[in-house]
Amino acid sequence: MRSVLLLLSLSLWALLPTRAQIARQPKAAARIYFDQAHGEAPPPAPMADIGRRTTESLRGSRLVYFRAPNGTFTESEKAAIVAHVNSGGSLLLVLDEEKRQSLAKTGVNDILAPFGMKLSGDTPRIVNTGAIAKAGEINRADRQVPYDGGCEIFGGTPFAFQLDRNDNPAQPYAAYKKLDNGAHIVVMAEGMASLFLGSPDGVRLQEDPVDPGNTNWWGRPSWRKCSRGCLPVEAMGDGTRRFGIG
């Protein structure tokens, strides 16, 4: 199945340093810390040219990425992540439904609270309903995104919304926040984009009745291959309107 690099690559690209910052900083400062210490699976294959797995400390990492953690963050780990953001580092946090990643068990809301953001419990599921990522700081144009059950996000600037049964935007599930110190926070409360799911052949509000996991998830491609790996189409032009592109 053809994968689509939807909000994930857009979020990653937005969180990376600007060209001017890259010129001023050593290469190591742009390192991506991909966490696997809290039950996360390895990154999907299409992320090979974007992310970097490491067991080192957060120090020196420009971006810390937590994709679907289901283990508990200790108080010292929470404090370290908050300190990372307060010192100008960026954070990308992707979760999914409570049955996959418990908010109470992981404690991720304790990490978001100092920045005025919070995730709710699960919202009512609508099968293969899809979502819309609106044009703005993250997306140059509206993007159709796969979605099938997740949480609502409060705080920050929402940029993606679950669709209701009538194809209208409902509650937000993804938001970003820019701090005065240059840090960026992007939180997504549904993980299908991080798994590169979605197909132009998917049909909204339908799932495989025999094996739901085999469902052809609704979504539209918005990426292309290039010499720098899988990057959003928006990032390949002059870079304007991308808050992480200069």
Task: Measure the N-to-C terminal CA separation of the chain; round to a whole number of Å.
Answer: 34
Q: Which residues, including other chains, have CB under 8 Å from residue 72's CB and lie 6 or more apart? A: 38, 105, 106, 107
179 versus 46: the higher-pLDDT residue is: 179
Q: What domains are defined for the chain?
A: 7-236 (3.40.50)
Q: Is the pLDDT of residue 98 over 70?
A: yes
209-219 pLDDT, tens per residue? 899 889 999 98
Q: From CA 149, how far away is CA 80, in angstroms rounded?
A: 30
Q: Encoding tokens for residue 210?
A: 């025999």
Asked whether 155 and 61 are in contact (CB, 8 A), the reply is no
9 versus 44: the higher-pLDDT residue is: 44
Which pLDDT score is estimated for 198?
Answer: 87
Q: Is the pLDDT of residue 22 over 60?
A: no
> What mean pLDDT do residues 55-68 have?
79
Which pLDDT score is estimated for 60?
Answer: 78
Angle at 123 between CA 139 and CA 160, to 5 degrees: 5
Asked whether 229 and 50 are in contact (CB, 8 A), the reply is yes
129-172 pLDDT, tens per residue? 999 999 998 888 898 889 999 999 999 999 999 999 999 999 99
Q: Encoding tokens for residue 85?
A: 């953001």
